[in-house]
């Protein structure tokens, strides 16, 4: 029995040692958990702070790159516009030279000829003693208004009325010519 008592006391001491050891392990685990929880909060806060700073730097870089690309695109657009303008001018000059080479008169040549014709018509009218004919309207002017058949018949009294009316109605009369005809009809005062 002594032997049994010794074994029991040894078992109680062993159990007590195991309990104490288990208690220490449990407390070490709780301490590690508390430490991890405390450090985890700090680490999380630091990660959020670092992420916010990184996002701001990335946005700044994107804005800088966007501005650079925008300026580059504007420069390229201006260069392209200038190139097209030059190309258009060169094309117009070459077409004008080709037309001049084959003898096609330009708009300013035609305008000069009209001016010479008007001047010569005035000289002829002055030399013959007749009233100068009205200058013809230039290209781009409003179309001439047709005169009424009565005015056309009054213009050509020497011809029979039946033949003169259809011909006169078919010919357009400009306003200055109609005014000149009206002035001729009026007796001098």
| DSSP secondary structure of 39-59 | HHHHHHHHHHHHHHHHHHHHH
pLDDT one digit per residue (tens) for the chain, 189 residues? 666 666 767 778 888 888 898 999 998 888 888 888 888 878 888 888 889 999 999 999 888 888 888 888 888 888 888 888 888 999 999 998 898 889 888 888 899 999 999 999 999 999 988 765 565 655 554 444 444 444 444 444 444 444 444 444 444 444 555 455 555 555 554
Cβ neighbours, 10 Å, residue 180: 14
pTM exceeds 0.85 for this model: no
Find, among 132, 129, 141, 131, the residue nearest to 172 by Cα: 141
């Amino acid at each position: 029995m002594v032997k049994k008592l010794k074994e029991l006391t040894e078992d109680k001491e062993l159990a007590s040692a195991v309990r104490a050891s288990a208690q220490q392990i449990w407390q070490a685990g709780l301490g590690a958990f508390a430490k991890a929880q405390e450090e985890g909060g700090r680490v999380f806060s630091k990660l959020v702070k670092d992420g916010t700073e990184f996002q701001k730097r990335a946005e700044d870089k994107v804005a800088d790159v966007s501005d650079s690309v925008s300026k580059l695109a504007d420069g390229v657009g201006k260069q392209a516009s200038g190139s097209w303008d030059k190309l258009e001018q060169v094309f117009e000059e070459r077409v004008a030279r080709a037309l001049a080479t084959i003898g096609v008169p330009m708009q300013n040549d035609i305008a000069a000829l009209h001016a010479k014709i008007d001047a010569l018509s005035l000289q002829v009218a002055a030399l013959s003693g007749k009233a100068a004919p009205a200058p013809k309207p230039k290209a781009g002017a409003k179309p001439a208004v047709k005169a009424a058949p009565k005015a056309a018949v009054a213009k050509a009294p020497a011809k029979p009325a039946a033949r003169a009316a259809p011909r006169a109605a078919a010919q357009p009369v400009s306003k200055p010519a109609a005014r000149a005809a009206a002035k001729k009809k009026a007796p001098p005062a």
